[in-house]
Amino acid sequence: MITVLIVDDHPIVRGGLRAAFDADEGIEVMGDAGTGEAAVDLAARARPDVVLMDLQLGAGIDGAETTRRLRALPEPPRVLILTTYDSEADILRAIEAGATGYLLKDAEPADLRAAIRTAARGETVLAPSVATRLVSRVRRPERTLTPRETEVLQMVAAGSGNRAIARALFITEATVKSHLVQVFAKLGVDSRTAATAEARRRGVIR
């Protein structure tokens, strides 16, 4: 029996996922949580085999940070991301945090159940579009943004200026400008607006 903890900030989604596992005698949903903090607390006590994790959890810590904290537990569960986001930035953050797999919410119930079993064995499972993005990244390393460059660009896209970005990331404004110079060169653009548009077109940021 594989025990699963569902983490999503929408009650209706958590209910739907529970229903998707009801007919599977090999999978037991031992609980669900609507916040990252609650998920870490519950996982520490109940020790599920797999945590099914959304990336956006409203207030509090997000899915990537929750994943990092879950993987730091004395008996860490496998974490399988289930989200609507497939940008390169989201994928990389989740994988770097320790996620075993990354699926999108358009997955079929049967595929989701199979992914739970795969994750429980410690094997990686990726949605096809996610795998494609990772392969493309490996094939074009010279033009790939680093995690920090992606983080800076995501903040630019959200409307943050250099000073705000520097404060948020604990770096200097000069370092922010240096990152943006690299971003512009790699994306073949010459402005913040063009960089944001090109990165969204490529799926690098949301």
pLDDT tens, residue by residue, 151-203: 999 999 999 999 999 999 998 888 899 889 889 988 888 889 999 998 888 88
Percent of the chain with pLDDT over 70: 97
Residue where a domain stops, chosen among 137, 154, 182? 137
Q: Which domain holds residue 129?
A: 2-137
Q: Is 144 helix (H, G, I), strand (E, B) or coil?
A: coil
What pLDDT, on the 0 to 100 scale, is given for residue 86? 81
What is the C-alpha to C-alpha distance for residues 51 and 116, in angstroms, rounded to an integer? 9
Q: For residue 159, what pLDDT is reported?
A: 93
Strands 27-33 and 50-53: unpaired
pTM of this structure: 0.71
Out of 137, 163, 191, a domain closes at 137
Question: Is 108 in the same domain as 148?
Answer: no
* Angle of CA points 94, 200, 98, to nearest 5°: 5
Residues 6+ apart with CB under 8 A from 172: 166
Find the mean pLDDT for residues 93-117.
Answer: 92
Q: pLDDT tens across 60-79, in order?
A: 899 999 999 999 999 999 99
Are 109 and 162 part of one and the same domain? no
- Measure the CA–CA gap between 119 and 47, rounded to whole angstroms: 15
Statement to judge: residues 169 and 128 lie in one domain? no
183: CATH: 1.10.10.10
**What pLDDT sits at residue 88?**
80
Tell me: do 125 and 196 sit in the same domain.
no
